[in-house]
Amino acid sequence: MGGLDPDAAEAAALAHDLGHPPFGHIAEYELDSLTRKAGLRDGFNGNAQSFRIVTKLAVGDPVDRDDPSRLIRGLNLTRATLDGILKYPWIHGSNSHERRKWGAYETERGQFNWVRKGQRARSLRKCAVAELMDWSDDITYAVHDLVDFYRAGQIPLDRLADKRNASERKLFFDGVFVRRPKLLPRKGQLERAFQGILDFFPIDRRYDGSLAQRSGLWHFTTVLISAFVEAISVARPKTWSNGLVDIKSREKDEITILKELTWHYVILNHDLSTVQHGQREAVRTVFKTMLNASEDKKKWSLFPLEYQEELGRVRANSRETKRTVTDFVAGMTDREVKSFYHSLRGRA
Protein backbone atom coordinates (compact mmCIF):
# COMPACT_ATOMS: atom_id res chain seq x y z
CA MET A 1 0.00 0.00 0.00
CA GLY A 2 2.98 2.30 0.30
CA GLY A 3 6.61 2.58 -0.62
CA LEU A 4 8.25 1.90 -3.95
CA ASP A 5 9.87 -1.17 -5.44
CA PRO A 6 12.48 -0.08 -8.04
CA ASP A 7 12.08 -3.19 -10.19
CA ALA A 8 8.29 -2.89 -10.27
CA ALA A 9 8.58 0.82 -11.13
CA GLU A 10 10.99 0.14 -13.99
CA ALA A 11 8.87 -2.71 -15.37
CA ALA A 12 5.69 -0.60 -15.20
CA ALA A 13 7.41 2.27 -17.01
CA LEU A 14 8.56 -0.07 -19.79
CA ALA A 15 5.08 -1.56 -20.16
CA HIS A 16 2.79 1.43 -19.87
CA ASP A 17 2.82 2.45 -23.57
CA LEU A 18 2.49 -1.05 -25.02
CA GLY A 19 -1.18 -0.47 -25.85
CA HIS A 20 -0.66 2.57 -28.05
CA PRO A 21 -2.06 1.83 -31.53
CA PRO A 22 -0.47 2.93 -34.84
CA PHE A 23 -0.44 6.73 -35.27
CA GLY A 24 -0.79 7.22 -31.50
CA HIS A 25 -3.72 9.15 -30.06
CA ILE A 26 -5.31 9.76 -33.47
CA ALA A 27 -5.91 6.03 -33.93
CA GLU A 28 -6.83 5.68 -30.25
CA TYR A 29 -9.76 8.07 -30.68
CA GLU A 30 -10.74 6.47 -33.98
CA LEU A 31 -10.65 2.93 -32.58
CA ASP A 32 -12.65 4.04 -29.55
CA SER A 33 -15.39 5.32 -31.84
CA LEU A 34 -15.29 2.26 -34.11
CA THR A 35 -15.38 -0.29 -31.29
CA ARG A 36 -18.32 1.43 -29.60
CA LYS A 37 -20.25 1.42 -32.87
CA ALA A 38 -19.43 -2.28 -33.17
CA GLY A 39 -21.06 -2.91 -29.79
CA LEU A 40 -18.15 -2.78 -27.31
CA ARG A 41 -19.43 -0.53 -24.55
CA ASP A 42 -15.97 0.05 -23.10
CA GLY A 43 -14.52 1.11 -26.44
CA PHE A 44 -10.77 1.35 -26.86
CA ASN A 45 -8.18 2.99 -24.64
CA GLY A 46 -4.40 2.68 -24.87
CA ASN A 47 -4.01 2.22 -21.11
CA ALA A 48 -6.59 -0.57 -20.96
CA GLN A 49 -4.98 -2.15 -24.01
CA SER A 50 -1.60 -2.17 -22.24
CA PHE A 51 -3.17 -4.05 -19.32
CA ARG A 52 -4.82 -6.50 -21.73
CA ILE A 53 -1.52 -7.16 -23.50
CA VAL A 54 0.47 -8.00 -20.38
CA THR A 55 -2.29 -10.05 -18.72
CA LYS A 56 -3.82 -11.87 -21.68
CA LEU A 57 -2.26 -11.35 -25.13
CA ALA A 58 1.51 -11.54 -24.68
CA VAL A 59 3.23 -14.91 -24.42
CA GLY A 60 5.77 -15.54 -21.69
CA ASP A 61 7.42 -18.54 -20.09
CA PRO A 62 5.23 -19.37 -17.05
CA VAL A 63 4.41 -23.04 -16.54
CA ASP A 64 1.43 -24.56 -14.75
CA ARG A 65 2.94 -26.77 -12.02
CA ASP A 66 -0.14 -29.01 -11.98
CA ASP A 67 -0.40 -29.32 -15.76
CA PRO A 68 2.83 -28.36 -17.62
CA SER A 69 1.11 -28.93 -20.97
CA ARG A 70 -1.45 -26.18 -20.33
CA LEU A 71 -0.60 -22.92 -22.09
CA ILE A 72 -0.70 -19.87 -19.81
CA ARG A 73 -1.68 -16.51 -21.24
CA GLY A 74 0.00 -13.25 -20.26
CA LEU A 75 3.42 -12.42 -18.84
CA ASN A 76 2.89 -13.65 -15.26
CA LEU A 77 3.89 -10.28 -13.82
CA THR A 78 3.70 -9.52 -10.11
CA ARG A 79 0.74 -7.75 -8.56
CA ALA A 80 2.96 -4.74 -7.77
CA THR A 81 4.08 -4.42 -11.40
CA LEU A 82 0.57 -4.74 -12.80
CA ASP A 83 -0.77 -2.21 -10.29
CA GLY A 84 1.99 0.17 -11.37
CA ILE A 85 0.86 -0.16 -15.00
CA LEU A 86 -2.65 0.92 -13.99
CA LYS A 87 -2.31 4.64 -14.54
CA TYR A 88 -6.12 4.79 -14.30
CA PRO A 89 -7.00 2.07 -11.75
CA TRP A 90 -10.64 1.53 -12.63
CA ILE A 91 -12.80 -0.38 -15.12
CA HIS A 92 -14.54 1.67 -17.81
CA GLY A 93 -17.53 3.55 -16.39
CA SER A 94 -16.66 3.07 -12.73
CA ASN A 95 -15.20 6.56 -12.19
CA SER A 96 -17.81 9.29 -12.57
CA HIS A 97 -15.10 12.00 -12.47
CA GLU A 98 -13.09 10.62 -15.41
CA ARG A 99 -15.01 9.16 -18.33
CA ARG A 100 -12.39 9.57 -21.08
CA LYS A 101 -9.74 7.26 -19.63
CA TRP A 102 -9.75 3.91 -17.87
CA GLY A 103 -7.27 1.19 -17.00
CA ALA A 104 -8.95 -2.10 -17.94
CA TYR A 105 -11.71 -3.53 -20.10
CA GLU A 106 -14.57 -5.66 -18.83
CA THR A 107 -12.89 -8.66 -20.51
CA GLU A 108 -10.01 -8.34 -18.00
CA ARG A 109 -12.13 -7.73 -14.92
CA GLY A 110 -10.88 -10.91 -13.26
CA GLN A 111 -7.23 -9.93 -13.66
CA PHE A 112 -8.02 -6.34 -12.61
CA ASN A 113 -9.77 -7.50 -9.42
CA TRP A 114 -6.80 -9.72 -8.54
CA VAL A 115 -4.37 -6.83 -8.98
CA ARG A 116 -6.44 -4.45 -6.85
CA LYS A 117 -7.19 -7.00 -4.14
CA GLY A 118 -6.45 -5.51 -0.75
CA GLN A 119 -7.25 -1.97 -1.85
CA ARG A 120 -10.13 -0.30 -0.08
CA ALA A 121 -13.42 -1.15 -1.80
CA ARG A 122 -13.95 0.88 -4.98
CA SER A 123 -10.74 2.83 -4.39
CA LEU A 124 -9.68 4.93 -7.38
CA ARG A 125 -6.31 5.87 -5.89
CA LYS A 126 -3.19 5.02 -7.89
CA CYS A 127 -0.46 3.09 -6.18
CA ALA A 128 2.87 4.84 -5.58
CA VAL A 129 4.55 3.04 -8.50
CA ALA A 130 1.84 4.24 -10.89
CA GLU A 131 2.23 7.81 -9.59
CA LEU A 132 5.97 7.68 -10.20
CA MET A 133 5.52 6.15 -13.66
CA ASP A 134 2.98 8.86 -14.56
CA TRP A 135 5.37 11.64 -13.49
CA SER A 136 8.22 10.04 -15.43
CA ASP A 137 6.01 9.94 -18.52
CA ASP A 138 5.21 13.64 -18.08
CA ILE A 139 8.92 14.47 -17.83
CA THR A 140 9.62 12.67 -21.09
CA TYR A 141 6.74 14.43 -22.83
CA ALA A 142 7.66 17.84 -21.46
CA VAL A 143 11.43 17.69 -22.01
CA HIS A 144 12.61 15.10 -24.52
CA ASP A 145 9.69 15.56 -26.94
CA LEU A 146 10.01 19.33 -26.63
CA VAL A 147 13.72 19.32 -27.49
CA ASP A 148 13.16 16.91 -30.39
CA PHE A 149 10.52 19.18 -31.89
CA TYR A 150 12.75 22.23 -31.42
CA ARG A 151 15.55 20.51 -33.31
CA ALA A 152 13.07 19.56 -36.04
CA GLY A 153 12.11 23.24 -36.42
CA GLN A 154 8.53 22.75 -35.19
CA ILE A 155 8.64 24.47 -31.78
CA PRO A 156 10.33 27.93 -31.87
CA LEU A 157 11.92 27.90 -28.41
CA ASP A 158 14.43 30.52 -29.55
CA ARG A 159 11.65 32.99 -30.47
CA LEU A 160 9.70 32.25 -27.30
CA ALA A 161 12.80 32.90 -25.20
CA ASP A 162 13.53 36.21 -26.97
CA LYS A 163 12.25 38.92 -24.58
CA ARG A 164 11.93 41.31 -27.53
CA ASN A 165 9.41 38.95 -29.15
CA ALA A 166 6.46 39.20 -26.76
CA SER A 167 4.01 38.50 -29.59
CA GLU A 168 5.13 34.85 -29.93
CA ARG A 169 4.54 34.17 -26.25
CA LYS A 170 1.19 35.96 -26.36
CA LEU A 171 -0.01 33.86 -29.30
CA PHE A 172 1.05 30.72 -27.48
CA PHE A 173 -0.66 31.61 -24.19
CA ASP A 174 -3.82 32.82 -25.94
CA GLY A 175 -4.04 29.44 -27.64
CA VAL A 176 -3.49 27.54 -24.39
CA PHE A 177 -6.16 29.32 -22.41
CA VAL A 178 -8.73 29.22 -25.20
CA ARG A 179 -8.17 25.48 -25.55
CA ARG A 180 -7.98 24.83 -21.80
CA PRO A 181 -10.14 27.43 -20.00
CA LYS A 182 -9.84 25.53 -16.70
CA LEU A 183 -6.23 26.76 -16.52
CA LEU A 184 -7.26 30.44 -16.58
CA PRO A 185 -7.37 30.87 -12.77
CA ARG A 186 -3.66 29.91 -12.73
CA LYS A 187 -2.70 32.02 -15.73
CA GLY A 188 -0.21 34.17 -13.83
CA GLN A 189 1.47 31.20 -12.16
CA LEU A 190 1.84 29.30 -15.43
CA GLU A 191 3.22 32.32 -17.29
CA ARG A 192 5.83 32.88 -14.56
CA ALA A 193 6.76 29.20 -14.54
CA PHE A 194 7.25 29.28 -18.31
CA GLN A 195 9.28 32.46 -18.23
CA GLY A 196 11.53 30.95 -15.58
CA ILE A 197 12.37 28.09 -17.93
CA LEU A 198 12.87 30.35 -20.94
CA ASP A 199 15.28 32.52 -18.96
CA PHE A 200 17.94 29.83 -19.09
CA PHE A 201 17.22 28.48 -22.59
CA PRO A 202 20.72 28.76 -24.13
CA ILE A 203 20.03 29.28 -27.87
CA ASP A 204 18.95 32.48 -29.60
CA ARG A 205 18.39 31.15 -33.13
CA ARG A 206 16.95 28.17 -35.02
CA TYR A 207 18.67 24.88 -34.42
CA ASP A 208 21.57 24.20 -36.79
CA GLY A 209 23.30 21.31 -35.01
CA SER A 210 26.50 23.14 -34.07
CA LEU A 211 28.60 21.82 -31.19
CA ALA A 212 27.71 24.85 -29.08
CA GLN A 213 23.98 24.28 -29.63
CA ARG A 214 24.16 20.57 -28.92
CA SER A 215 26.11 21.18 -25.74
CA GLY A 216 23.69 23.91 -24.67
CA LEU A 217 20.67 21.67 -25.23
CA TRP A 218 22.20 18.85 -23.18
CA HIS A 219 22.79 21.26 -20.31
CA PHE A 220 19.25 22.64 -20.63
CA THR A 221 17.63 19.19 -20.54
CA THR A 222 19.87 17.98 -17.70
CA VAL A 223 18.90 20.93 -15.50
CA LEU A 224 15.18 20.47 -16.21
CA ILE A 225 15.15 16.72 -15.72
CA SER A 226 17.15 16.96 -12.49
CA ALA A 227 14.68 19.48 -11.09
CA PHE A 228 11.68 17.38 -12.09
CA VAL A 229 13.16 14.15 -10.71
CA GLU A 230 13.86 15.83 -7.37
CA ALA A 231 10.36 17.35 -7.25
CA ILE A 232 8.61 14.07 -6.39
CA SER A 233 8.76 12.25 -3.07
CA VAL A 234 6.86 9.47 -1.33
CA ALA A 235 4.15 10.84 0.96
CA ARG A 236 2.51 9.58 4.12
CA PRO A 237 -1.19 10.13 3.36
CA LYS A 238 -3.31 11.24 6.28
CA THR A 239 -6.50 9.88 4.70
CA TRP A 240 -7.28 7.16 2.16
CA SER A 241 -8.19 9.72 -0.50
CA ASN A 242 -4.80 11.47 -0.39
CA GLY A 243 -2.14 10.56 -2.95
CA LEU A 244 0.89 8.45 -2.14
CA VAL A 245 3.39 10.94 -3.56
CA ASP A 246 4.02 14.67 -3.25
CA ILE A 247 5.04 16.76 -6.27
CA LYS A 248 6.22 20.34 -5.80
CA SER A 249 3.71 22.83 -7.18
CA ARG A 250 6.25 24.88 -9.16
CA GLU A 251 7.50 21.85 -11.09
CA LYS A 252 3.90 20.77 -11.70
CA ASP A 253 3.20 24.14 -13.30
CA GLU A 254 6.35 23.90 -15.41
CA ILE A 255 5.43 20.45 -16.70
CA THR A 256 1.88 21.59 -17.45
CA ILE A 257 2.94 24.51 -19.62
CA LEU A 258 5.79 22.67 -21.36
CA LYS A 259 3.39 19.93 -22.45
CA GLU A 260 1.15 22.59 -23.99
CA LEU A 261 3.95 23.57 -26.38
CA THR A 262 3.65 20.27 -28.22
CA TRP A 263 -0.12 20.68 -28.47
CA HIS A 264 0.08 24.25 -29.74
CA TYR A 265 2.86 23.92 -32.30
CA VAL A 266 2.70 20.26 -33.36
CA ILE A 267 -0.52 18.37 -32.64
CA LEU A 268 -2.83 21.20 -33.74
CA ASN A 269 -0.68 22.14 -36.74
CA HIS A 270 -2.70 22.35 -40.00
CA ASP A 271 -0.17 20.34 -42.00
CA LEU A 272 -0.35 17.52 -39.48
CA SER A 273 -4.17 17.60 -39.54
CA THR A 274 -4.26 16.65 -43.22
CA VAL A 275 -1.95 13.69 -42.56
CA GLN A 276 -4.05 12.63 -39.60
CA HIS A 277 -7.17 12.63 -41.79
CA GLY A 278 -5.51 10.00 -43.96
CA GLN A 279 -4.38 8.03 -40.93
CA ARG A 280 -7.92 7.90 -39.56
CA GLU A 281 -9.18 6.74 -42.95
CA ALA A 282 -6.60 3.93 -43.03
CA VAL A 283 -7.46 2.73 -39.50
CA ARG A 284 -11.19 2.93 -40.23
CA THR A 285 -10.90 0.92 -43.45
CA VAL A 286 -8.70 -1.78 -41.95
CA PHE A 287 -10.90 -2.17 -38.86
CA LYS A 288 -14.19 -2.39 -40.78
CA THR A 289 -12.75 -4.81 -43.32
CA MET A 290 -11.33 -7.11 -40.66
CA LEU A 291 -14.48 -6.93 -38.52
CA ASN A 292 -16.43 -8.09 -41.57
CA ALA A 293 -13.85 -10.82 -42.23
CA SER A 294 -14.11 -12.09 -38.64
CA GLU A 295 -17.77 -12.95 -39.27
CA ASP A 296 -17.02 -15.24 -42.21
CA LYS A 297 -14.64 -18.14 -41.62
CA LYS A 298 -13.80 -18.21 -45.34
CA LYS A 299 -12.18 -14.77 -44.91
CA TRP A 300 -10.11 -15.60 -41.85
CA SER A 301 -7.08 -16.02 -44.10
CA LEU A 302 -6.82 -12.21 -44.05
CA PHE A 303 -5.65 -12.59 -40.44
CA PRO A 304 -2.24 -13.92 -39.33
CA LEU A 305 -2.36 -17.43 -37.85
CA GLU A 306 -2.34 -16.29 -34.22
CA TYR A 307 -5.54 -14.28 -34.78
CA GLN A 308 -7.15 -17.10 -36.76
CA GLU A 309 -6.53 -19.35 -33.74
CA GLU A 310 -8.08 -16.78 -31.43
CA LEU A 311 -11.15 -16.37 -33.65
CA GLY A 312 -11.59 -20.13 -33.57
CA ARG A 313 -11.40 -20.13 -29.78
CA VAL A 314 -14.06 -17.49 -29.10
CA ARG A 315 -17.75 -17.51 -29.93
CA ALA A 316 -18.62 -15.99 -33.33
CA ASN A 317 -19.71 -12.31 -33.28
CA SER A 318 -19.09 -12.14 -29.52
CA ARG A 319 -17.48 -9.38 -27.50
CA GLU A 320 -14.20 -11.32 -27.59
CA THR A 321 -14.38 -11.57 -31.40
CA LYS A 322 -14.59 -7.81 -31.66
CA ARG A 323 -11.80 -7.43 -29.12
CA THR A 324 -9.65 -9.77 -31.20
CA VAL A 325 -10.17 -7.64 -34.32
CA THR A 326 -9.31 -4.56 -32.26
CA ASP A 327 -6.18 -6.29 -30.94
CA PHE A 328 -5.10 -6.97 -34.51
CA VAL A 329 -5.46 -3.36 -35.66
CA ALA A 330 -4.08 -1.84 -32.45
CA GLY A 331 -1.04 -4.12 -32.56
CA MET A 332 0.11 -2.93 -35.99
CA THR A 333 2.91 -0.43 -36.54
CA ASP A 334 2.38 2.75 -38.58
CA ARG A 335 4.09 1.14 -41.56
CA GLU A 336 2.10 -2.10 -41.26
CA VAL A 337 -1.29 -0.40 -41.23
CA LYS A 338 -0.32 1.75 -44.25
CA SER A 339 0.85 -1.33 -46.15
CA PHE A 340 -2.23 -3.35 -45.18
CA TYR A 341 -4.52 -0.47 -46.17
CA HIS A 342 -2.95 -0.27 -49.64
CA SER A 343 -3.08 -4.06 -50.01
CA LEU A 344 -6.80 -4.08 -49.25
CA ARG A 345 -7.22 -1.62 -52.10
CA GLY A 346 -5.25 -3.83 -54.47
CA ARG A 347 -2.11 -1.70 -54.46
CA ALA A 348 1.33 -3.08 -53.69
Mean pLDDT within 155-171: 92
> Cα(316)–Cα(295) distance, rounded to whole angstroms?
7
pLDDT at 121: 53
Backbone angles phi, psi at 81, to 5 degrees: -65, -45
> Cα(27)–Cα(38) distance, rounded to whole angstroms?
16
Report the DSSP beta bridge partners of residue 91: 104
Contacts of 240 (CB under 8 A, 6+ apart): 120, 123, 125
> Cα(280)–Cα(284) distance, rounded to whole angstroms?
6
pLDDT digit string, tens, across residues 77-130: 999 999 999 999 999 988 878 878 899 999 999 999 999 987 765 578 888 899
| Residue scoring higher pLDDT (227 or 119) | 227
Contacts of 62 (CB under 8 A, 6+ apart): 72, 74, 75, 76
Alpha-carbon Rg for the chain, nearest whole angstrom, is 23
Report the DSSP beta bridge partners of residue 245: 234
pLDDT at 1: 44
> Cα(104)–Cα(46) distance, rounded to whole angstroms?
10
pLDDT at 333: 95
pLDDT digit string, tens, across residues 282-322: 999 999 999 999 999 999 999 999 999 999 988 877 889 99
328: closest CA among 44, 42, 39?
44
Residues 240, 125 contacting (CB under 8 angstroms): yes
For the chain, give the percent of residues with pLDDT over 90: 71
Helix (H, G, I), strand (E, B) or coil at 202: coil
Residues 129, 14 contacting (CB under 8 angstroms): no
18: closest CA among 249, 336, 348, 331?
331
Helix (H, G, I), strand (E, B) or coil at 219: helix
Q: Which of 65-74, 101-110, 194-203, 335-344 shows the lowest mean pLDDT across its residues?
A: 65-74
Query: What is the DSSP secondary structure assignment for residue 120, as one 8-state letter?
Result: P
> Cα(157)–Cα(265) distance, rounded to whole angstroms?
11
> Cα(158)–Cα(165) distance, rounded to whole angstroms?
10
pTM for this predicted structure: 0.88
Residue 242 has pLDDT above 80, yes or no: no
194: closest CA among 253, 252, 137, 234?
253
- Return the exposure string of 259-268: e unless at least 16 CB atoms fall within 10 Å of the residue's CB, then b: bbbbebbbee
